[in-house]
Amino acid sequence: MAKTYGYGFPRLGKQREFKTLIEGYWAGKLTEEELRAGIAKLNDKREETYKKYVDAFPKGEMTFYDNLFDTALIFGIYSAESLDEYFNLCRGKNALEMTKWFNTNYHYLVPDFEGKEVEFKLGWNKHEGIKKNAYLIGPFTLLKLSKNLPEGKFTELLKKLAAKYLEYFKFNGFESVHLDEPAFVMELTDGEVEAIKEAYKSFESVDTKINVFTYYDSVDNLQFVFDLPVAGVGVDLVHDRGENLSQLENIDPKGKTLYAGVVDGRNVWRSDVFKKAEIIKKLSEKFDVVITNAALLFHLPVNLKGATLPPELVAKVAFAEEKLNELKLIADVVKGKEDEARSWVEGIDRAFGVRENVRERVRNLTEADFNKPVPYAERIKLQQERLKLPLFPTTTIGSFPQTQEVRRVRLLNRRGQLSDKDYETFIKGEIAKAIKIQEELGLDVFVHGEFERSDMVEFFAEKLEGIATTGNGWVISYGTRSYRPPIIFGDVERTEPMTVKEIAFAQSLTDKPVKGMLTGPVTIIAWSYCREDIPVSKVAYQIALAIRDEIADYEKAGIKIVQIDEAAFREKAPIKKRNWDEYFDWAVKSFRVCHARSKPETQIHSHMCYSEFGEIIEYILAMDFDVISIEASRSKGDIIEAFEKVNFDRQIGLGVWDIHSPYVPSVEEMKPIVKRALKVIPKENFWVNPDCGLKTRRWEECIPAIRNIVTLAHELREEA
Ligand code: GLN
Ligand code: ZN
């Protein structure tokens, strides 16, 4: 009978204990022992949850920061003699670069081989005392996601690395290991497949049972994974466009266990456990099947307890713990036990949140809703006449520090202990302070500071109809940072202005232009759980129309610059490039709907963070903004290489300050980033700004860093 297996359960904890513990240690409130004990306890709780629902689960999934980084430490790519050294590599001046983990909003630390003697060695035993299902990220994924590998040595390195894995398995005497190899779902070259085969060959000689897990998409030529000397293969049967399932029909199992990922690990919709059970039954005719989740469950909040969702929606969704329960329900149905499963699926197909007027608007979109009539070359002249900005204009990306005070007051308001009126007065006070600070620092384009926003997506989710917020559904995005993805369940509509009051107030306090600040459709979708009952493009256009209406209201209020953040534009792209056109088509078009009908003299900015630009620059240009700001500092401006190959005729602000770290860069440290970029970008098109919003920073860091940014711009103007 089919067994169940769960993996990737959130480490964050229901009360975000992970965050409290680690940040407590950083702040000196906890000793190392207290931290270690706290994390161990948190992990015990996770494992208790697994045990309630599934037959087996991996051991050693817990980390103090990031599992890819841990794996790099285990195999000696980095070394940390102490916990403080460990954290120094995660954050701070010499931290590893961070980037998005596949097409998710989780960020991992990128191992960098630059200037490294590549000699793998067992550097750290993370799995002491563990024998079964030891959790590790696999050697291919580890190398594939690293950067600056010595040219032409991939096969050789992978082989050497696999040999170290083998040594590690033997050293610990593992009975079985769980190897995550999500990079197997990328579009691999023949050379890479050969390299994997060769590297995995060394595993033939070990008694350890190796179960290799793939997820987030299908594996091209899945048979090759079944041919590897492994005991089990995990496949994603949810986000695979049906490609894994159809391949399984013709696959020779070679005696391997199939870990059938039938429960969605990335989206919240309840599984139709009856349909899933059918799939399992069918597969069981040929395979030894284990029922599992498709993808790491930490993309979901811990559980539904206490979530502030309408009951109609509760009946449709499942978070991580409920997904584990679904694994059990599927096994039940396979065994003929159907009662609990029946009540579980009762509400899943009930229509909820239909708005005919919104659907009508989307149906009526025409060419003029996607295309701006005035070309960029003319728009930029009109804008410059109006804005009269100096060379190297300085600005920030939107948010200013969300201080304890700001968060405390917001909480009071949410709890009903502070009236809306008093809350508004408080926010206005913060905006006024921020404007004053920006005046004093001498920035050219101001922001209002986003003090009223808990989060750039959740804020809009609260304002828009058709999107629900969860109240307590926290998910890690990187390190200890977490956010609460909203749930897009119905047709999305703006019923009144969402941000105009604050922006207009900020603008009333200064002669400098204040940017209207919005989050774009792709990012709202990417950082929410999106409905799947209508095409995602339709959802994007619905949101775009809401943004378009907001911009029209900005224009009436005299706002001259609007920034539409599309931080998730690259991340949301499918893993396989062959599926890109389909995605970017609606992604680009939804951005164009936002601003196509805005005035040509209204300057449209976009902002993206942590984007690998090279391959998508054409799509980015097609968004037809006037100015874009992007992250660049941790990669020391490497990103500019992407611009060398195209005719990038728009204005651009390259981030010169890594805002993810408390370190304040000097003018001398920032200048090379700009100097390098100026070889590619004409000086007239260049803005100077931080990498991203400053909400996680303190004013004590912001003020000197921005002062340096302004000084940098002054020096650049003199040198120009
Ligand atoms: N405007 C947002 C902010 O400054 C942008 C954040 C982001 O790109 N992640 O907070
Ligand atoms: Zn950003």
- Average pLDDT of the segment spanning 187-211: 97
* Residue 576 CB-density burial (10 A; 0-12 exposed, 13-18 middle, 19+ buried): middle
Position 711 in a domain:
yes
- Please give the share of the chain, as a percent, with pLDDT higher than 70: 99
Residues ≥6 apart with Cβ < 8 Å to 228: 196, 197, 200, 203, 212
Please give the mean pLDDT across all residues of the chain. 96
Pocket of ligand 1 contains residue 658 by CB under 6 Å = no
Q: 592 alpha carbon to ligand 2 midpoint, in Å?
A: 20
276 annotated to a ligand binding site:
no
The dihedral sign for the CA sequence 596, 602, 605, 606: negative
pLDDT digits (tens, 9 = 90+) for 96-127: 988 889 999 999 999 999 887 778 999 999 99
Q: What is the pLDDT of residue 640?
A: 77
Name the pLDDT band for 645 (thresholds 50, 70, 90).
confident
Amino acid letter, 151: E
Given a cut of 70, is residue 382 above it in pLDDT?
A: yes
Given a cut of 80, is residue 552 above it in pLDDT?
A: yes
Strands 288-294 and 232-236, bridge-based pairing: unpaired
Nearest residue (CA) to ligand 1, atom 8: 567
Ligand 1 atom closest to the CA of 517, numbered from 1? 1
pLDDT digits (tens, 9 = 90+) for 404-443: 999 999 999 999 999 999 999 999 999 999 999 999 999 9
Task: Report the CATH number that the domain containing residue 475 is assigned in CATH.
Answer: 3.20.20.210
Dist CA 159 CA 195 (whole Å): 7
Lowest-confidence pick of 110-119, 283-292, 521-530, 659-668:
110-119
Nearest residue (CA) to ligand 1, atom 3: 693
Q: What is the pLDDT of residue 550?
A: 98
Position 22 in a domain:
no
Position 496 in a domain:
yes
- Average pLDDT of the segment spanning 693-710: 97
Q: Which residues surround ligand 2, an ion (CB under 5 A)?
A: 567, 609, 692
> Comparing C-alpha atoms, which of 704, 699, 698, 705 is closest to residue 27?
698
Given a cut of 70, is residue 192 above it in pLDDT?
A: yes
Pocket of ligand 1 contains residue 493 by CB under 6 Å = no
- Average pLDDT of the segment spanning 193-207: 96
Pocket of ligand 1 contains residue 593 by CB under 6 Å = no
Pocket of ligand 1 contains residue 398 by CB under 6 Å = yes
Q: What is the pLDDT of residue 229?
A: 97
Ligand 1 atom closest to the CA of 607, numbered from 1? 8
Nearest residue (CA) to ligand 1, atom 10: 693
The number of domains in the chain is: 1
Nearest residue (CA) to ligand 1, atom 5: 693
Position 447 in a domain:
yes
Given a cut of 60, is residue 183 above it in pLDDT?
A: yes
Q: What is the pLDDT of residue 119?
A: 85
Q: What is the pLDDT of residue 590?
A: 98
Name the pLDDT band for 610 (thresholds 50, 70, 90).
low
**Best probe residue, ligand 1, of 564, 565, 569 (max atoms within 8 Å of C-beta):** 565
Name the pLDDT band for 574 (thresholds 50, 70, 90).
very high
Position 656 in a domain:
yes
Angle, alpha carbons 628-632-636 (nearest 5°): 150
Q: Kindly report the pTM of this predicted structure.
A: 0.95
Name the pLDDT band for 637 (thresholds 50, 70, 90).
low
- Average pLDDT of the segment spanning 131-136: 98
Q: What is the pLDDT of residue 547?
A: 98
What's the first-to-final CA gap in the chain, in angstroms? Answer: 74
pLDDT digits (tens, 9 = 90+) for 458-509: 999 999 999 999 999 999 999 999 999 999 999 999 999 999 999 999 999 9
Position 436 in a domain:
yes
Q: Give residue 566's domain range.
A: 376-719
Q: What is the pLDDT of residue 646?
A: 84
Given a cut of 70, is residue 162 above it in pLDDT?
A: yes
Reduce the secondary structure of 561-620 to three states and give it as a string. EEEEECCCCCCCCCCCHHHHHHHHHHHHHHHHHHHCCCCCCCEEEEEECCCCCHHHHHHH
380 annotated to a ligand binding site:
no
Location of structure tokens 């204990």: 17
Given a cut of 90, is residue 662 above it in pLDDT?
A: no
Location of structure tokens 């190392």: 32
Given a cut of 60, is residue 63 above it in pLDDT?
A: yes
Given a cut of 60, is residue 611 above it in pLDDT?
A: no
Pocket of ligand 1 contains residue 565 by CB under 6 Å = yes
Q: 455 alpha carbon to ligand 1 midpoint, in Å?
A: 9
Pocket of ligand 1 contains residue 98 by CB under 6 Å = no
Ligand 1 atom closest to the CA of 609, numbered from 1? 8
- Average pLDDT of the segment spanning 336-365: 96
Q: 692 alpha carbon to ligand 2 midpoint, in Å?
A: 4
Given a cut of 90, is residue 134 above it in pLDDT?
A: yes
Name the pLDDT band for 615 (thresholds 50, 70, 90).
confident
The dihedral sign for the CA sequence 491, 493, 495, 498: positive
Active-site entry in 239, 595, 605, 660: 660
Backbone dihedral region of 481: left (phi > 0), alpha (psi from -120 to 50 degrees) or beta? Answer: beta
Dist CA 110 CA 506 (whole Å): 39
Position 284 in a domain:
no
Pocket of ligand 1 contains residue 566 by CB under 6 Å = no
477 alpha carbon, distance to own chain's centre: 6
530 annotated to a ligand binding site:
no
Pocket of ligand 1 contains residue 693 by CB under 6 Å = yes
- Average pLDDT of the segment spanning 254-270: 97
Catalytic: 299? no
- Average pLDDT of the segment spanning 165-179: 98
Q: What is the pLDDT of residue 613?
A: 78
Position 545 in a domain:
yes
- Average pLDDT of the segment spanning 3-19: 98
Lowest-confidence pick of 359-368, 411-420, 613-622:
613-622
Given a cut of 60, is residue 549 above it in pLDDT?
A: yes
Given a cut of 90, is residue 661 above it in pLDDT?
A: no
Q: Which residues pair with 236 in a beta bridge?
A: 261
